[in-house]
């Protein structure tokens, strides 16, 4: 966790997680597993759950009950200004077989 990052309230962070510049995690958010990278004005709050190989950077806000899950080696990246909220579920899994 870098100097400009904060974890507050009932947030839980477990595993291989790196909070870099201006990353804030609060509410009842859960970050588990990893590697998880939060960098450059990231706000995570509410009952957000992030599991697995996830990169969130560059002015991203994640609120409410959003769930992001990615398996190791099949990472998910949110790397542009945006807001995720409500009850969105983002899952990244490997495709079996050829399309």
Domain ranges of the chain: 6-84
pLDDT (tens digit per residue) in 2-55: 889 999 999 999 999 999 999 999 999 999 998 999 999 999 999 999 999 999
CA count, 13 A, side-chain hemisphere, 10: 6
Task: Please compute the mean of the pLDDT values over residues 75-96 and round it to a whole number.
Answer: 81
DSSP state of 95: P
Whether residue 22 contacts residue 1, with contact meaning beta carbons closer than 8 Å, is answered with no
DSSP state of 96: P
Sheet containing 60-62: give its strands across.
Answer: 6-7, 23-25, 42-44, 60-62, 82-84
């Amino acid at each position: 966790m870098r100097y400009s990052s904060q974890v507050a309230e009932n947030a839980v962070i477990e595993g291989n997680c790196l909070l870099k510049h201006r990353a804030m995690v609060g509410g009842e958010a859960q970050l588990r597993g990893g590697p998880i990278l939060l960098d450059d004005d990231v706000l995570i709050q509410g009952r957000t759950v992030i599991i697995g190989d996830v990169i969130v950077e560059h002015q991203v806000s994640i609120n409410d009950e959003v769930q992001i899950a990615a398996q190791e080696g099949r990472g998910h990246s949110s790397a542009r200004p945006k807001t995720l909220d409500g009850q969105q579920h983002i899952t990244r899994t490997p495709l079996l077989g050829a399309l």
